[in-house]
Each structure stands twice: as C-alpha cells, then as structure tokens.
Amino acid sequence: MIDIYTDGACIGNPGPGGWGAIVMTDGDVAHGRRLSGGEPRTTNNRMEMTAAIRGLEATPKGATVTVHSDSEYVVNTMTRNWKRNANQDLWPRLDALVKERKVAWRWVRGHNGHALNEEADRLAVAEAKKFMGKGRPLLDQAGPAREGDERMSTEREMTHLDEHGGAPPPSDPPSPAAPRLTHLDEHGRAAMVDVGGKPDTERVAIASGVVSMRPETLNLVLRGQMEKGDVFTVARLAGIAAAKRTWDLIPLAHQVPLSHVGVDFAPDAAGRVVITGTAHTTAKTGVEMEALAAVSVAALAIYDMCKAVDRGMTIGEVRLLEKRGGTRGDYKAPRST
C-alpha cells in the first residue's frame, strides 16, 4: 500500500509556485521519497495538481495508492466530477496516471497540524521561494539533492526556451496585469460588487488570529476562574454571531447564507491563544470576511472577559489562512517563518 501526501503553494496566485510530495510504502515515513519542484509563474491549483501528478509518477503501474491532499479542487474534481474549466493540460496527465493504478483520494484539512501535510507544505513553499529573485530561478540555492532533482531542473530550464527551442535574451519575468480594486467603480467611488451572474458554488474560508496575555491570566481562563464566566464559550458565541452579521459590519460585504461557522482556540504555555475561524457556504461570493470577522470579534470578546486582571493583553496576527472555491480558485497563505 502506497500513500502520497501532496501540497502546492503559490506566492501571489498567480506568482512563483512550488509543489511537494511525500511517497511512502506501508507507512514507512522515514524511508519515504521527498519530491518537490516549482515554476516561476503559476497558480496554487496548478501546483496542487502537479504535486499529485509527480507523486503518482513515482509509483509503479498497477499499485494501490492513496493520495492525501488538502486541495478540495483536486480531490473533489477527481471524486465528485467538479467541472474542469481550467488547467486543461494537466487533467489528462492525471487521468492517465490514475487509470493505470488503483487510486483513492483523501482530503486532509490544511494548516491543522497533520505532520505529513505540513512537511509537504514546507517542501512546496521552499520551492516557491527559490523563484522570488528576478530573472532565472535560483537553482544554485536548491539545497541538498533529492531523487528526481535532475528532471525537475530540466523542466525549469525549459521554461526559459522560446517557441523555437532557443534561449531568449535574459529578462525579468513578465509582470502580471495591474490588480484592480473591485469595490471601486470607474470613477473611483465605492460600489458593491454585482455577483448576480456568478454560479452558486461551495466555498470555505479559514482565518486565524492571536491573543497574547500573561501566563497566569491564561491559567485563570483554563481553570474557569474568570469572574465573568467561561471565556472560550463566550468568545466562541461572539465569533459565530459576528460571522453571521458580517454584512452589517462591513458596508460592502454581501449577506451570505452561512451553512457552518466554527471558532476554535489553541492556548499554549506562553500565554498565547491562537483563534481559528472557519466559514462555509454555497453561494455566489466567498466567506473570507466572515471567517476574519469571527476571529476578530472572538479575540475582542476574550479581551473583554479578561481585561479586569490583564489590561496589557494584545490582539494580532489576524489573517486569512486559506480559501477554497469560487471562480478565482483556491488560496493558501504562505507558512509564517
């Protein structure tokens, strides 16, 4: 039995990207093959697909394989027949590999502490960062050689050949089109985006933030000794309520029918509480703001519950970790270093 853990990363989406795959037999993590590569300009979805393709290429025909991926785009397309509106060059490659093997697909939640998913993510991010310099990728900084490096290097070199196979003059990578603020009209005035023409699709957003307090304050929280009551229960309810009322708090946000909102807390010994907010919907627009609102208001509720004993608490690091679904594709934040 072969297991493949895959992940893709992209800085900018589109932008420099990387993929990572861990291929192991019978659960032997120590002797599993670590494969990785990247491209100077790509998308997160393409890197997720490439990771699965390259992982399967490393297995023999006829093998029984389980591919573990945190990309709903890949897993649901292969198992639930999601429409293949993009990346038409990659799907046939993936289909051909699957046809020659007995492949099962397993979705794993990203940024959730799964050791092999986290390792695959680190491989992908490291590859993406190699292309952050101008001009050719920094191949001389690739680090220790891995199985398959020669082939990956060849692929990278080919991205610099012109249509006749010759090397073009050295130049910087093409610049992407200038981004446009969708909440401004042609006159620069604030406007609500019209999403009426978009299809209803399944969408997920995950955000996080951190409340830092004195360790002794956190001990009171964990022992349930705060005068106002159960801090995390109140904060969770506050976060859920905020997600449901995001359209009331953010002037140009749409009113989205939420199917699920989750708010979770992970305290540590240093007095930090990491808050994770998750929002799900099937709608015409995403729920990034709902996830961010849940985290932000949950953090404020923690401060309110604890301020009597620790007014020096800080709230920070609020950011979007991941979003899935929609016409713009998936997004995953680069791992903090």
b/e burial code for range 6-29 (CB count within 10 A of at least 16 → b): bbbbbbebbbbbbbbbbbbeeeee
**Amino acid of residue 65:** V
CB 105 within 8 A of CB 67: yes
Task: Single out the residue of 37, 52, 42 nearest to residue 87, CA to CA.
Answer: 42
Active-site choice (149, 264, 304, 310): 304
The tokens for 241 are 């309520």
| Residues paired with residue 208 on neighbouring β-strands, in sequence order | 276, 319
- Rounded (5°) CA angle 89-66-205: 70
Q: Find how far residue 93's CA is from the centre of its chain.
A: 24
Distance CA 229, CA 238 (A): 14
Q: Indicate the residue type of 64.
A: T
Are 170 and 135 a contacting pair, CB within 8 Å? yes
d(CA 220, CA 211): 15
3-class SS at 26?
coil
With residue 76 as reference, give the H or E element that holds it. Answer: helix 72-80
Pairing between strand 258-267 and 64-69? Answer: unpaired
268 is catalytic: no
* Cα–Cα distance measured from residue 6 to residue 109, given in angstroms and rounded to the nearest whole number: 12
Active site residues: 304
